[in-house]
Structure 1
Amino acid sequence: MLETPSAPPAELAPHVAPPAPEAAVDKLNDVASRLLPRVLDRIDSEAASGLSREALAEQLASLISELAQELRLPLNHREQGDVVTLLVNDMLGLGPLEPLLADDKVTDIMVNGPRQVYVESGGKLVLSDARFRDNAHVMSVATRIVSQVGRRVDESSPLVDARLADGSRVNIIIPPLAIDGPSISIRKFSKRRIDLDLMARQGNVSAEMATVLKIASRCRLNILISGGTGSGKTTLLNALSQMIAADERVVTIEDAAELQLQQPHVVRLETRPANLEGRGEITMRELVKNALRMRPDRIILGEIRGGEALDMLQAMNTGHDGSLGTIHANRPREALTRLENMVGMSGVNLPAKAVRTQIAAAVQMIVQISRMRDGVRRVTSITEVVGMEGEVITTQELFAFRFTGEGPDGRLQGQFDSAGLRPHFTTRAEYFGLDRLLLEAIG
Structure 2
Amino acid sequence: MALDPKIEAHQRLVEQLRRSFGKAIMAAFDDEKVVEIMANPDGKLLVERHGQGIVQEGTIAPQQVQNIIGLVAAWQGTISNAEKPICEGALPPEFGGARFEGCLPPITPGPLFAIRLRARSIYTLEQYVRATVITANQLEIIQQAIDTRKNILVSGGTTSGKTTLVNAIVHRISEVSDLNQRIVIIEDTPEIQCSAPNYLSLLTDDSAKITMASLLKATLRLRPSRIIVGEIRDGAALDLVDAWGTGHPGGAATMHANNPQGALLRLDRLCMRTGAPSQKESIEEAVDIIIQIRSDENHPAGRRITSMWDVKKGEEI
Per the shorter chain, which TM-score range?
0.7 to 0.9
Deviation for aligned residue 1:230: 0.4
Distance 1:113 1:99 in 2: 21
Deviation for aligned residue 1:204: 1.2
In 2, are the aligned partners of 1:163 and 1:256 still within 8 Å (CA)? Answer: no
Output one character per residue of 1:243-302: Cα deviation in whole Å (capped at 9) or x when no partner: 22132211111111211111132211111124xxxxx42211111111111111111111
* Count of residue pairs the alignment pairs up: 297
Q: After the TM superposition, which of the residue ranges 217-226 and 113-122 deviates more from structure 2?
A: 113-122
What amino acid is aligned across from residue 179 of structure 1 in structure 2? T
Output one character per residue of 1:389-436: Cα deviation in whole Å (capped at 9) or x when no partner: xxxxx51111xxxxxxxxxxxxxxxxxxxxxxxxxxxxxxxxxxxxxx
Deviation for aligned residue 1:157: 6.6
1:302–1:177: structure 2 CA closer, same or farther, 3 Å change rule?
Answer: farther
What percent of counterpart residues are identical? Answer: 33
In 2, are the aligned partners of 1:89 and 1:96 still within 8 Å (CA)? Answer: no
Distance 1:88 1:317 in 2: 44
Among 228, 236, 239, the residue aligned to 1:311: 239
- The answer as to 2:157 corresponding to 1:228 is yes
Structure 1 segment 41-440 matched on structure 2, within 5 A: 89-90=18-19, 96-113=24-41, 115-121=43-49, 122-129=51-58, 131-135=59-63, 137-145=64-72, 150=76, 152-155=78-81, 156=84, 158-163=86-91, 165=93, 167=96, 169-176=98-105, 178-244=107-173, 245-247=177-179, 248-274=181-207, 280-348=208-276, 350=277, 352=278, 355-374=279-298, 376-386=302-312, 395-398=314-317
In 2, are the aligned partners of 1:233 and 1:369 still within 8 Å (CA)? Answer: yes
What amino acid is aligned across from residue 255 of structure 1 in structure 2? D
Deviation for aligned residue 1:98: 0.7
1:374–1:120: structure 2 CA closer, same or farther, 3 Å change rule?
Answer: farther
What amino acid is aligned across from residue 285 of structure 1 in structure 2? A
Distance 1:177 1:320 in 2: 46
What amino acid is aligned across from residue 253 of structure 2 in structure 1? G
1:212–1:153: structure 2 CA closer, same or farther, 3 Å change rule?
Answer: farther
Distance 1:360 1:251 in 2: 22
1:215–1:365: structure 2 CA closer, same or farther, 3 Å change rule?
Answer: same
In 1, are the aligned partners of 2:188 and 2:204 still within 8 Å (CA)? Answer: yes
- SS of 2:233's equivalent? coil
* Unpaired stretches in structure 1, ≥5 consecutive residues: 1-45, 54-86, 275-279, 387-393, 399-443
**Counterpart for residue 3 of structure 2:** none
Deviation for aligned residue 1:178: 4.1
- SS of 2:220's equivalent? helix
Distance 2:228 2:244 in 1: 11
Q: Normalization by structure 2: what TM-score?
A: 0.85
In 1, are the aligned partners of 2:91 and 2:99 still within 8 Å (CA)? Answer: yes
Output one character per residue of 1:185-232: Cα deviation in whole Å (capped at 9) or x when no partner: 122233222110011111111122112111101111011110000011
Q: Normalization by structure 1: what TM-score?
A: 0.62
**Counterpart for residue 5 of structure 2:** none
Deviation for aligned residue 1:106: 3.1
Deviation for aligned residue 1:95: 5.3
1:219–1:338: structure 2 CA closer, same or farther, 3 Å change rule?
Answer: same
Output one character per residue of 1:323-380: Cα deviation in whole Å (capped at 9) or x when no partner: 11111001001100001101101122x2x3xx11101111111011111132611111
What amino acid is aligned across from residue 396 of structure 1 in structure 2? E
Deviation for aligned residue 1:169: 3.4
Distance 1:88 1:361 in 2: 47
RMSD: 2.6
